[in-house]
Amino acid sequence: MEATVAKTGTEGKKWGGGSRPLNASYGKLMMWFFIVSDALTFSGFIASYGFSRFKFIDAWPIADQVFTHVPFLHGVPAPMYYVAFMTLVLIFSSVTMVLAVDAGHKMKQSKVAWYMFFTIIGGAIFVGSQAWEWATFIKGDFGAIETKGGKILQFLNKDGERVAIADFTKHIPSERTLHEKKNGIWYAEEPVTPTTFTYEEVKTSFLADENLLIRTQYLDEHGHPTVLSREESVAKLVNDGKLVVEGANLIRNEYGHPLFANFFFFITGFHGFHVFSGVIINIIIFFNVILGTYERRKSYEMVEKVGLYWHFVDLVWVFVFTFFYLV
Amino acid sequence: MAHEHKLEIFRGLVKFKSNISKIWGVFAFLCAVTAVEVVLGIIKPESLTGSRILAMKTLNWIFIILTLVKAYYITWDFMHMRDELKSLRRAVVWTAVFLICYLILILLLEGGYIFDVYKDNYIKFNF
């Protein structure tokens, strides 16, 4: 090697090469740089969420009216508890990770393996919880009506409690006719995905039940969604209503503005993807620990590097939690 | 490889005996902060949602400050930023903080502006 490297006259100086000016190895430094760039990606997502929210500040869904579900407690509104649980799981898996790093510094192979194992379990619980949260969000619970302007109308009773569409709507017997080639353009399809009830059915049942009111997505000065009087509700539904929305997807969202659903899917999805890949990387390192790779290498620095990534995933969740569920 | 850990947190107010006890201490602190956030998020006290400091609800200020506190301890103690050289610390933290603040400033101002355009001008979303 000596023969091929030109002398620069800086040998032995701090930046002359061969030394570590930042006192961190190449791998750790690169992990930090990756984390900075990934943090910028996430902040891009979260800042654009803020942008859209500020753009529709008077009509943005309130998170604790959206995420009110806890597994096995069906029908019990419990805002925040489940997300809080997910946050704690992730923070705890961060703790086991940093304990693994600490055990790695002391070259204790079996301890590193156990702590890595707990970290993997924590990550898996978190990803599973997120999948459950997504499924609940996509399925929806009360259903809503979308207006011609793309706004959402939700139903309340006179006591101000939410009422599900399925609870007051009766089916009107009708037959769906098969569209045959001979009747017209052969490639025509149904315009929207069929829902359990049609707008006409909801409208008829709503007009028949004096107890029902409509809540719009516009917020009043106290930050609560506006509730219309019975006359206003009827007028709103009859004049502006267009179709039934059940659950949330990238185009329609029964909880309010579709952008809320889009950002929910993209931000928590991108974060969930990070957790998922973190779990995969942790599993690889876990097996390396068990196989004794780092014992032979006499350094557990790889554990430290994946640890940095894992903590970063936790760090991002702290922000997602605040900006999606709290603020 | 020797690993030196700085064992005091809260500017030296609390000093732990070992790295492991420091980890558990920080964990307890993070749990406490999260608990405060969750309780405030569920109760949403009227006094905090009604009042505003610098155009933002007091409650939201509390949430954001607590989040930054949590982020600080995760980075400093779990990611061992406390033990790194000042130069590495600044290269990572200042870069990210500056760019993120700038991004947020621009996007939120622009979002607020577009809201005003929708509200006060000819484009109406009241149907």
- A167 and A309 co-located in one domain: no
Whole-number Å distance between alpha carbons of A320 and A260: 13
- A105 and A125 co-located in one domain: yes
A241-245/B8-9 β-pairing = unpaired
Buried/exposed code over B103-125 (b: 16+ C-beta within 10 A; e: otherwise) = beeebbeebbeebeeeeeeeeee
The answer to the question of residue A93 being in a domain is yes
The answer to the question of residue A180 being in a domain is no
What residues make up the domain containing A106? 46-140+259-326
- Test mutation, B3, B19, B38, B113, chain A, max A CBs within 10 A: B38
The answer to the question of residue A152 being in a domain is yes
Last residue of a domain, one of A246, A271, A287: A246
- Test mutation, B44, B107, B108, chain A, max A CBs within 10 A: B107
Per-residue pLDDT tens for A34-46? 999 999 999 999 9
Helix (H, G, I), strand (E, B) or coil at A27: helix
Say whether residue A55 is in contact with chain B using an 8 A CB cutoff: yes
The single-letter code of the amino acid at A227 is V
Per-residue pLDDT tens for A42-59? 999 999 999 999 999 988
- A59 and A75 co-located in one domain: yes
pLDDT at B2 (0 to 100): 44
State how far residue A17 is from chain B, nearest Cα, in angstroms. 17
Say whether residue A235 is in contact with chain B using an 8 A CB cutoff: no
- A134 and A109 co-located in one domain: yes
pLDDT at A232 (0 to 100): 92
pLDDT at A1 (0 to 100): 45
Per-residue pLDDT tens for A115-140? 999 999 999 999 999 999 999 999 98
Better-predicted residue by pLDDT, B110 or A11: B110
Nearest-5° angle of CA A173, CA A179, CA A183? 125
CATH number assigned to the domain comprising residue A312: 1.20.120.80
Whole-number Å distance between alpha carbons of B3 and B20: 13
One-letter-per-residue 3-state SS of A122-179: HHHHHHHHHHHHHHHHHHCCCCEEEECCCCEEEEECCCCCECCHHHHCCCCCCCCCCC
pLDDT at A2 (0 to 100): 52
Please state the domain count of chain A.
2
The answer to the question of residue A12 being in a domain is no
Q: Give yes or no for a contact between A261 and A253, defined as CB atoms under 8 angstroms apart.
A: yes
CB contact under 8 A, B107 and A87: no
Whole-number Å distance between alpha carbons of B82 and B93: 12
- A132 and A272 co-located in one domain: yes
The answer to the question of residue A197 being in a domain is yes
Better-predicted residue by pLDDT, B3 or A38: A38
Residues of A in contact with B31 (CB under 8 A): 88, 91
- A241 and A271 co-located in one domain: no
User: In terms of C-beta density within 10 A (0-12 exposed, 13-18 middle, 19 or more buried), how is residue A301 classed?
Assistant: middle
- A121 and A59 co-located in one domain: yes
Chain B, nearest residue to A92 by Cα: B27
Residues of A in contact with B108 (CB under 8 A): 47, 50-51, 54
The answer to the question of residue A289 being in a domain is yes
State how far residue A8 is from chain B, nearest Cα, in angstroms. 24
Per-residue pLDDT tens for A67-108? 888 888 777 778 888 999 999 999 999 999 999 999 999 999
Query: Is the pLDDT reported for residue A23 higher than 70?
Result: yes
ipTM for the whole predicted complex goes beyond 0.95: no
